[in-house]
Amino acid sequence: MAKDKTITVKQIGSPIRREKSQRATLIGLGLNKMNKERELVDTPEVRGMINKIPHLVRVLGE
């Protein structure tokens, strides 16, 4: 079985005064506090979530 590619995502923006869907996307990515980082499997679904909230997250490593 091949090793899955991962990406590291960091939350750079606050979910305060954002739409509920944007907050839910952050929680779906496993982020909920400023400067928190998560290592996620690089899938089209995760990329879509990141593209939905580019003003709140930054991709650190691929």
Give the structural domain span for 21.
6-61
DSSP class of 13? S
- pTM for this prediction: 0.88
- Residue-wise pLDDT for 27-38, tens only, equals 999 999 999 999
Residue 1 located in a structural domain:
no
Q: Is the confidence at residue 4, as pLDDT, over 90?
A: no
The tokens describing 22, both together, are 């944007």
Angle between helix 20-28 and 44-52 (nearest 10): 140
- Rounded to an integer, what distance in angstroms lies between the CA atom of residue 56 and that of residue 60? 13
- In the chain, the number of structural domains is 1
Asked if residue 52 belongs to a domain, the reply is yes
Query: What CATH code is carried by the domain that includes residue 50?
Result: 3.30.1390.20
Let me know if residue 14 belongs to a domain: yes
pLDDT at 47: 96
